[in-house]
Structure 1
Amino acid sequence: MALISKEEFLDLAQFNNEICVSIFIPTHRGGKEVLEGENQKSLKSQLKDIKVKLTEKGISKERIDLIAEPILQLIDDKRFWRHQSDGLAVFASEGILKKFTLPINFEAHNYIAKEFYLKPLAPAFTGDGRFYLLELQISNVALYEATKYSIGEVKIDDITPDQLEDRVGYDYEEKNSKHKTQRNNIGANADGTSTQHGYDAANRDRKNEFLRYFRAVDKGLDTILHDENVPLVVACQDYLFPIYQEANSYKNLYDKCIPGNPADYRNMFELHAKAVEELEPFFTKEKDQKIKTFNELPPERTSTRVTDILPSIFEGKVDTLFLENREDLFGTFDENNMSVDVHNERREDSISLMNYAAKKVIEQGGSVYLIESAFMPEKESKMNALLRYNY
C-alpha cells in the first residue's frame, strides 16, 4: 500500500485555486501523547493560525469556514487518530481535503498560497530504496514488497508452506512434546554419569525440522526473487535467523534480522517501520553517491545559482536537486521569458521557488533531496542541481 502515490502527488501539484492550505504536523504512533490527544491538538493549533492569516487577508468567514469544516471533522475523528505514523500532511481548499499519514518527521508548519506546498513530501519519491520484507514464524510466513514509504503484501501461500507442520510431515506439536518429556527425564545413569546427550539430540532434530521448513520457504521465494537485486530483510526471532541464513539461496539477504517475535507487532505498518529503521544505511547510500558525484563533476554539469537552475528544470535538464532543509526561497519565475526574480522576503506575488523546483523535478522523474545546511554539496547556496548527462 503506497502511503502517497505519484499520481496523487501530481494531482496536488497541478491543483490551483485562490486559497490552497497546506498543513504539516509531527505525529505520535502511540503512548501517552496519543492518549492525551497531542496529535489532534497540534492540527487544531495549525488550523487556528490559518484562520487568523486568512482573516488578515480579508477572506470572508463563510469561505474560511468552508475550508476549515472538513479539517475540524478530521480533528474529531477518533478512529483516524488511532493509526498514525511520524507525520501528517493535510491539503485543503474549497471543496477539497486530502490527508496523508507518512513516516516523515515533519516540522509543524502551514502554508497558504494559490498552490499546495509539496516540498516536504519530496522524501517520499526519492531514494525510496525498494526491498522485500519476510515475516518468518514457525506458525506463519508472509512476504511484503516495500519501499521506505510504502508496503504491500505479496501472495505466496501457493508457493511456500504456511507453517512448520505443513513441511515436516507429522504432528510437530506432538513430537515437540515428546522432546520436552525426554528433557524432563534427563538425569544420571547408574554409574552417575549425565544423560545430557538426549537433550542435544532433541535440539538437533528440532533444528533440522526448522532447516527443512526454511529451505521449502526459500525454494518458493526463489520463484519471485530469482532475478531481483534488492535487499531481503527477515523479521524473526533471533535464534531462527542463523538457521534461515543456512537455508537461504537469495544473494541479497540482509545480514541482520529484525529482532523479536513478528507476532508482537500489531500490524504490517509497525513491522515496516522497524524494517526501515534497520535499513537506514541502505536508504542513505544513493543520496551519498549523488553528493559525491556532484562534488566530482566539472562545473558545467552542476549548478548552484537559482536563476540558472529554474530554467534548467523547466527544460528538463535537472537529474537531481538538492534543497536546504527548513529553508525556502521566494520570488517569481516567468516561464515564457525564462527569467527568475528572487525576493529578499515573501511578497504578495511571491511563490516558493523551492516548492516549484521540487514539484517540477519529481514530475519529470528526477530526484529531490532535502539536505541539512552543513551537508549541502555547495553550502553557499540553498539550491544545488546535478544536470543530466544528455545535456
Structure 2
Amino acid sequence: MINEQEFKKLSGHNAEPCISIFIPTQRAGKEVLEEKNKKHLNSQWTEIKKKLKEEGTDEKTIEKIGKPINDLIENRDFWRHQSDGLAVFASEDFFESYTLPIKFEAYHYISNEFYVKPLVPAMTGDGRFNVLAIQLGDVKFYEASKYSITPVEIEDLTPNRLQDRVGYDYKERALQFRTQDEGGEKTQFHGHGGSERDEKEEAKQFFRAVDQGLKDYLNKEKLPLLVFCQDYLFPIYKDANTYNHLFDKVIAGNPNDTDLMGIHARAMDIFEPYLNETRDKKIEKYKELSSTENTTSALSDIIPAVYQGKVDTLFIENRAEVWGNYHEDEMKVDFSDEPTDGDISLLNLAARKTIEMGGKVYLVEHEFMPQKKSKMNALLRF
C-alpha cells in the first residue's frame, strides 16, 4: 500500500520525461495463467516508447527509463502476487511500482511530473478497513476495501503472546468451549470445575491478548476494525477491546463457514453504507454553504486557493480531465482545450497539492459532484 510519504515523494518529483502507467490487474484465474497482466504492461510501455520517439527523446534515455519496466515485465514471481491495480512511475533516475487494491483503468501519462490523481482513493483513508475473524483459539486478520480483501499475516503478533498472557495452550483449552450446534449462535461453556463466569473471563483474556497483539499494527493507520465472530463472543471481545476504531456492528457467524470472498461479501453487507460517509457529509456541507464564500467551483480560483492552503476538501470528477498550466508567481491559470506541448493535467496538479497541504481529495462520479457544471469543486477552510 502507498502511504502519505510515498505519495508526496511521487508528487514532488520532476524530470523530463516522467512516465506514469496504470493498469487493472487480476489476482488469480485464467487471466493470470495467460499472463494478461504482464502483457497489459508491455502494451502500455510499447505505446509510450513510440510517443517518446515521436517527441524526440533520445534512445539512451528511453532505454534507461525502460530497463526497470522491462525487468518488471520479465519478473514472473512479481506477476503471481497482484491485487486489483498496478501503478508504475519511471523517469531516468527514478522507478517505483505499487500493487494496490484499486481497479485502475488502463492509462499512461507523459509529462515532467507524475500523474498521481488515480492514487487518491488510497490516500483518503475512508475506503479501507480491517476485518478480524476470530474464534476461541483461531484468529485471522484482513485488510479490505470496497473492491478487495487481502489476508494479513499476524502469526508473529498473536500466537506466542496468547500462550504467554493467557497462561495455557489456548488452542487445546479452546476445545472446552462448545457451541450447542454447528454454526449456532449460542454457546454452552464446559470447564474443568470452573464456573461459566470463569470461562467467560478466560475468553476475555484470550481476546485481550489478541487486542494487545494487534495494537501497534492497528494504530499505525487507525482504520475501522470490523469483527467477524459468533454473536455470543462479540460482547466479550468489545469488553476486552482497547482500540478506538472498533466498529459497533458485528459480522455474526462462524468465519470458517465461508471462504475469503464470502468474508468480503459479508463485511460489505454491513460496512458499505459507511464507506462514503465522510465524503457524503462533506458534499452536504458544500451544498449547505454553496451560496457563501466558503465554496467555489471555478478552477481559476481553486488552484490558487490550493497553493495557499485554503482548501479543506476537493471534489474531482472521476475520469475527467482539464489541461493547461498554472503560473504560481502570478496566481494565474491558463486552460487548453486539448493537451499541447508543455501542458499538464490541472486536476492532477490540484489533487497532489491539496494532499500535500493537508486537505482531503475525493474522486467523485459526475452525478454525485456537488456542483455538476464544473469538473472540480472546493470546500474552503473557514
TM-score range, shorter chain: 0.7 to 0.9
Displacement of 1:216 in angstroms is 2.2
Match status 1:292 vs 2:284:
yes
Name the residue aligned to 1:28.
26
State the alpha-carbon separation in 1 of the partners of residues 100 and 282 from structure 2.
24
State the alpha-carbon separation in 2 of the partners of residues 5 and 285 from structure 1.
22
Name the residue aligned to 1:196.
none
Displacement of 1:167 in angstroms is 7.0
Q: Is the 8 A contact 1:324 1:372 kept in 2?
A: yes
Name the residue aligned to 1:12.
10
Size of the aligned set, in residue pairs, is 356
Match of 1:304 among 297, 305, 315: 297
Superposition pairs of residues 1-391 of structure 1, within 5 angstroms: 3-128=1-126, 131-141=129-139, 155-156=157-158, 160=162, 166=168, 204-205=188-189, 211=200, 213-220=202-209, 231-236=224-229, 241-247=230-236, 248-249=238-239, 250=241, 252-257=247-252, 260-261=255-256, 279-297=271-289, 298-389=291-382
What SS does the corresponding residue of 1:80 show, helix, strand or coil? Answer: helix
Q: Is the 8 A contact 1:138 1:164 kept in 2?
A: no
Q: Is the 8 A contact 2:87 2:99 kept in 1?
A: yes
What SS does the corresponding residue of 2:371 show, helix, strand or coil? Answer: coil
Q: Is the 8 A contact 1:305 1:381 kept in 2?
A: yes
Displacement of 1:210 in angstroms is 7.9
More divergent stretch after superposition (206-215 vs 23-32) = 206-215
Displacement of 1:212 in angstroms is 5.2
More divergent stretch after superposition (133-142 vs 280-289) = 133-142
Structure having the higher strand fraction is 2
Q: Which amino acid aligns with 2:326?
A: F
Q: Is the 8 A contact 1:231 1:253 kept in 2?
A: no
Larger Rg: 1
Two-structure CA RMSD over aligned residues (Å)? 3.8
Displacement of 1:132 in angstroms is 4.9
**Stretches of structure 1 lacking an aligned partner (at least 5 in a row):** 184-199
Distance 1:214 1:344, change over 3 A: same
What SS does the corresponding residue of 1:166 show, helix, strand or coil? Answer: coil
TM-score with structure 2 setting the length:
0.80
What SS does the corresponding residue of 2:312 show, helix, strand or coil? Answer: strand
Q: Which amino acid aligns with 2:123?
A: F
Displacement of 1:369 in angstroms is 0.5
Q: Is the 8 A contact 2:251 2:266 kept in 1?
A: no
Q: Which amino acid aligns with 1:245?
A: F
Cα deviations across residues 273-322 of structure 1 (Å, max 9, x unaligned)? 98578633222110111101000014311000000001111111001000
More divergent stretch after superposition (94-103 vs 271-280) = 271-280
Q: Percent identity over the alignment?
A: 42
Displacement of 1:72 in angstroms is 1.2
State the alpha-carbon separation in 1 of the partners of residues 137 and 207 from structure 2.
16
More divergent stretch after superposition (101-110 vs 210-219) = 210-219
Displacement of 1:10 in angstroms is 0.9
State the alpha-carbon separation in 2 of the partners of residues 274 and 340 from structure 1.
47
Q: Which amino acid aligns with 1:261?
A: N
Distance 1:116 1:245, change over 3 A: same
Distance 1:169 1:365, change over 3 A: closer
Q: Which amino acid aligns with 1:109?
A: Y
Q: Is the 8 A contact 1:21 1:91 kept in 2?
A: yes
State the alpha-carbon separation in 2 of the partners of residues 216 and 259 from structure 1.
20
State the alpha-carbon separation in 2 of the partners of residues 72 and 51 from structure 1.
12
State the alpha-carbon separation in 1 of the partners of residues 161 and 54 from structure 2.
62
Displacement of 1:211 in angstroms is 4.7
Distance 1:206 1:54, change over 3 A: farther
What SS does the corresponding residue of 2:353 show, helix, strand or coil? Answer: helix
State the alpha-carbon separation in 2 of the partners of residues 273 and 46 from structure 1.
33
Displacement of 1:234 in angstroms is 1.9
What SS does the corresponding residue of 1:204 show, helix, strand or coil? Answer: strand
